[in-house]
DNA sequence: TTGTACGCGTTATCAA
DNA sequence: TTGATAACGCGTACAA
């Protein structure tokens, strides 16, 4: 039946009665070969079931059409959605996606970046800006095109496709202030390892300050992004300030954890205390009360990130900074404080 | 400063005063080189910041240490968790993960399989068994190690790491029967494109039959895996059989959609109607009432799948069939029917 | 234990 | 428009 070994360019060339160069051209730049020969070659390709050898192609062409993405976790819907959009856009451009998750650990991320570079990726998607100078230098030295998503960094050699975390959080705080709230608490993610979490807290403090409130009075607790931990942190916040009118949360998962704990503590939401989320994942709509939260365009971010990265690799101009809009989705978990 | 080109094996060899073969050995099989030379070589590697060229290595070694995974969607927590575990295990073995999602479309999956083969993966993780004979033949012809997860197929050239979908669903039905239920409805995923969905329905019918009930009376509606669609399908089911005592759902996402629709329709759960889920994702614990559902060991599946695949690539024996246990998690959404 | 030298399957340059 | 052929950078027999 079939040979045991896979067909090579050489085999196709022989079968079609042309040189390997012609076969290669047929595959990579069909317009440069006469239609009649091209048809003959493509027929041979199909008949032999030829597929180019990836290693050989990468070696000769110095590119892999492979892109890397390192995200904090795959199990949060926000990254999953963004990643899916990123991959879809890559696929549309005949590129494939290499994935790793860092568990929000910069050291792990650094190792994964090295691995991916060694894997010959053409470009890299990273989340946020918290990483060592060394690894940044390595990226730059290797000329690796990088797009950073989920945030808008300062000027940088890298591209950015994200949104203003501080401004989005500030807007939500302002909304609560407008409703008459004066006592705020914040249930945050780990700010030390996560610049988006830090930015969100910063945004809220800014909003408080410009409303004439004292940012120093903002009670802050940090928790991991699990329902369980978030619930515990929520209880600590309430214990610290039983009169807090709004507990703003770093993301929707934490907000749902807070919601559940509030329920367990016999607190009504938003009657006794308001709770706000961040991200607007589907989860926000199925809990009771539904979460008032910040809508973030995750899919658009993933897609745009891929576009920016692909353009960069193709050499279309300098790094870009794409700032996407966020909005507040009003549902039931935020209301005016009891009078 | 630095050269514009990246250092090669040659550069390292020159720097360390040895041959390229020795450097290569240092990197791939350190035990085969004297400690003193090895140290010198590794020092050069570090100083020059050498990283092996992926294409060259793949070409010469005929492997890429890259594994593919094609899953229906990244946005369902069950696959996200499994995929994360799969990747973690790969990383532990110095391998990386290539990802694509097929949106439950066999044609898309087929194209992605081809892309991944061309990309030179060493092994492949697929979900379920619904695919064309052709693509299966291609996989076999190329000698591609494949592990199929989330189900236990029949004997096959491929490995399996999954669970018995039919038996798990049957067990849940039996639980409801034991509670006294007699009128069942099933809210399923699209069975035509999804063998796990089909198996689950089959399992329930089997349980009904062996309890002396008529499987033909089981009302079935299909929906996509979104809260919205599932809610609509739930309403159709209730309209078809207003006296249904239990609506079993194909997964937790659908069950939550059903729960919400029941709430909107003024039905109390489990007072007026019981609802069961499948998967046991975190979501199941935060809704009200919490879902009684089938617990599936997603992480273990991902990890074991990686182990099986890696073993297969290393040539450790024939394909394996790993069957993992499932269990029923009793929460609040299933109760005895009103008497 | 180390070195020599060839082959892996492409792409791309240069001629024809 | 097509064909020879030289890289591309590494792994690995085989030899020393």
Residue A229 buriedness (CB in 10 A; 0-12 / 13-18 / 19+) = middle
Mutate to test the interface with B, among A99, A109, A140 (most CBs of B within 10 A): A99
Torsion sign, CA atoms A213, A215, A221, A226: positive
Per-residue confidence at B151, pLDDT binned at 50, 70, 90? very high
- CA–C1' nearest nucleotide, residue B41: C2
Q: Do A64 and B83 make contact, defined as CB atoms within 8 angstroms?
A: no
Q: Which two tokens stand for residue B153?
A: 């197929």
* Same CATH fold assignment for domains A9-52 and A63-163+298-324: no
> A63-163+298-324 has which CATH code?
3.40.50.2300
Please report the pLDDT score of residue A1 as a whole number: 34
A293-295 and A327-329 strand pairing: antiparallel
Q: Do B285 and A141 make contact, defined as CB atoms within 8 angstroms?
A: no
Q: Report pLDDT digits (tens) over A136-181.
A: 988 988 889 999 999 998 767 899 999 999 999 999 999 999 999 9
Q: Report pLDDT digits (tens) over B225-247.
A: 999 999 999 999 999 999 999 99
Q: What is the DSSP string of A1-47?
A: ---SSPP-HHHHHHHHTS-HHHHHHHHH-GGGS-HHHHHHHHHHHHH
Q: Report pLDDT digits (tens) over B88-107.
A: 999 999 899 999 999 999 99
Q: Where are the domains of chain B?
A: 9-52, 63-163+298-324, 165-296
Instruction: Tell me the mean pLDDT in the region A90-99.
Output: 92
Please report the pLDDT score of residue A273 as a whole number: 98
Q: Do A227 and B77 make contact, defined as CB atoms within 8 angstroms?
A: no
Residues 51-70 of B with CB under 7 A from strand C: 56, 59-60
Residue B257 near residue B227 (C-beta atoms within 8 A): yes
Residue B118 near residue A54 (C-beta atoms within 8 A): yes
Q: Integer distance in angstroms from CA B8 to C1' C2?
A: 19
Mutate to test the interface with B, among A4, A53, A96 (most CBs of B within 10 A): A96
Q: Which residue has the tokens 């989920």?
A: A150
Instruction: Tell me the mean pLDDT in the region A114-127.
Output: 93
What architecture (CATH level 2) is domain B165-296? Answer: 3-Layer(aba) Sandwich (3.40)
Q: Which residue is nearest to nucleotide D2 (CA to C1')?
A: A22
Residue B285 near residue A227 (C-beta atoms within 8 A): yes
Q: Do A118 and B52 make contact, defined as CB atoms within 8 angstroms?
A: yes
Of B51, B59, B142, the CB nearest to A117: B51
Torsion angle, alpha carbons of B229, B225, A303, B89, to 10 = 170
Please report the pLDDT score of residue A4 as a whole number: 54
Residue A48 near residue B60 (C-beta atoms within 8 A): no
Question: In Å, how far is B327's CA from the nearest CA of chain A?
Answer: 22
Q: Quick check: A5 CB within 7 A of strand C?
A: yes
Please report the pLDDT score of residue B318 as a whole number: 86
* Cβ-based neighbour number of residue A143 at 10 Å: 9
Closest C-alpha among B210, B212, B254, B215 to residue B235: B254
Residue A259 near residue A291 (C-beta atoms within 8 A): yes
Residues 198-257 of A with CB under 7 A from strand C: none
Q: Report pLDDT digits (tens) over A38-87.
A: 999 999 999 998 999 999 999 998 999 999 999 999 989 899 999 999 99
Per-residue confidence at A123, pLDDT binned at 50, 70, 90? very high
Where would I find the H helices in chain A?
A: 9-16, 20-28, 35-48, 54-61, 77-92, 106-118, 133-141, 165-178, 195-210, 227-240, 252-264, 283-286, 298-313
Q: Report pLDDT digits (tens) over A208-257.
A: 999 999 999 999 999 999 999 999 999 999 999 999 999 999 999 999 99
* Cβ-based neighbour number of residue B152 at 10 Å: 20
Report the half-sphere exposure of B300 (CA within 13 A, side-chain side).
10
Residue B176 near residue B248 (C-beta atoms within 8 A): yes
Of B77, B96, B117, the CB nearest to A115: B96
Assigned CATH topology for domain B9-52: 434 Repressor (Amino-terminal Domain) (1.10.260)
A219-222 and A274-276 strand pairing: unpaired
Spatial distance between the Cα atoms of B283 and A284, rounded to a whole number of angstroms: 11
pLDDT score of B188 more than 90: yes
Higher-confidence residue of B142 and A160: namely A160
A–B interface: beta-carbon pairs under 8 A: 142
Which chain D positions come under 7 Å from a protein C-beta?
1-5, 7-13
pLDDT score of B152 more than 50: yes
Residues 6 or more apart in contact with residue B258 via CB below 8 angstroms: B187, B230, B231, B233, B234, B247, B249, B275
Q: Which residue is nearest to nucleotide D5 (CA to C1')?
A: A21
Residue B274 buriedness (CB in 10 A; 0-12 / 13-18 / 19+) = buried
Closest C-alpha among A241, A161, A248 to residue A202: A248
Q: Integer distance in angstroms from CA B89 to C1' C9?
A: 31
Q: Quick check: A53 CB within 7 A of strand C?
A: yes
**B212: alpha, beta or left? (left if phi > 0; alpha if psi -120 to 50):** left
Q: Which two tokens stand for residue B269?
A: 């759960």
Residues 74-103 of B with CB under 7 A from strand D: none
Q: Do A54 and B288 make contact, defined as CB atoms within 8 angstroms?
A: no
pTM for this model (two decimals): 0.92
């Amino acid at each position: 039946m079939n040979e045991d070994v896979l067909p090579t360019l050489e085999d196709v060339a022989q079968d079609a009665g042309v040189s390997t160069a012609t076969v290669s051209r047929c595959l990579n730049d069909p317009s440069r070969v006469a239609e009649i020969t091209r048809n003959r070659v493509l027929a041979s390709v199909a008949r032999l079931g030829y597929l180019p050898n990836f290693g050989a192609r990468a070696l000769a062409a110095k590119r892999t059409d492979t892109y890397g993405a390192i995200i904090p976790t795959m199990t949060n819907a926000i990254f999953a959605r963004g990643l899916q959009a990123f991959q879809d856009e890559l696929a549309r451009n005949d590129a494939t996606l290499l994935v790793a998750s860092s568990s929000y650990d910069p050291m792990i991320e650094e190792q994964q970046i090295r691995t991916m570079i060694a894997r010959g990726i053409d470009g890299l998607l990273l989340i946020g800006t918290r990483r060592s100078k060394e690894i940044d230098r390595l990226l730059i030295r290797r000329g690796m095109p990088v797009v950073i998503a989920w945030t808008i960094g300062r000027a940088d050699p890298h591209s950015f496709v994200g949104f203003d975390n501080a401004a989005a959080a500030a807007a939500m705080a302002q909304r609560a202030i407008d409703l008459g709230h004066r006592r705020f608490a914040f249930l945050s993610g780990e700010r030390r390892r996560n610049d988006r979490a830090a930015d969100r807290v910063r945004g809220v403090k800014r909003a408080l300050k410009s409303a004439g409130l004292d940012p120093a009075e903002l009670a802050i607790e940090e928790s991991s992004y699990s329902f369980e931990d978030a619930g515990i942190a929520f209880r600590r916040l309430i214990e610290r300030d039983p009169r807090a009118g709004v507990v703003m949360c770093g993301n929707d998962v934490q907000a749902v954890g807070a919601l559940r704990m509030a329920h367990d503590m016999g607190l009504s939401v938003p009657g006794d205390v308001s709770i706000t989320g961040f991200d607007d994942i589907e989860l926000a709509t199925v809990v009771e009360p539904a979460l008032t939260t910040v809508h973030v365009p995750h899919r658009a971010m993933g897609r745009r990130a891929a576009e920016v990265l692909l353009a960069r690799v193709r050499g279309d101009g300098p790094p870009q900074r794409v700032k996407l809009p966020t909005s507040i989705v009003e549902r039931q978990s935020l209301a005016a404080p009891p009078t």
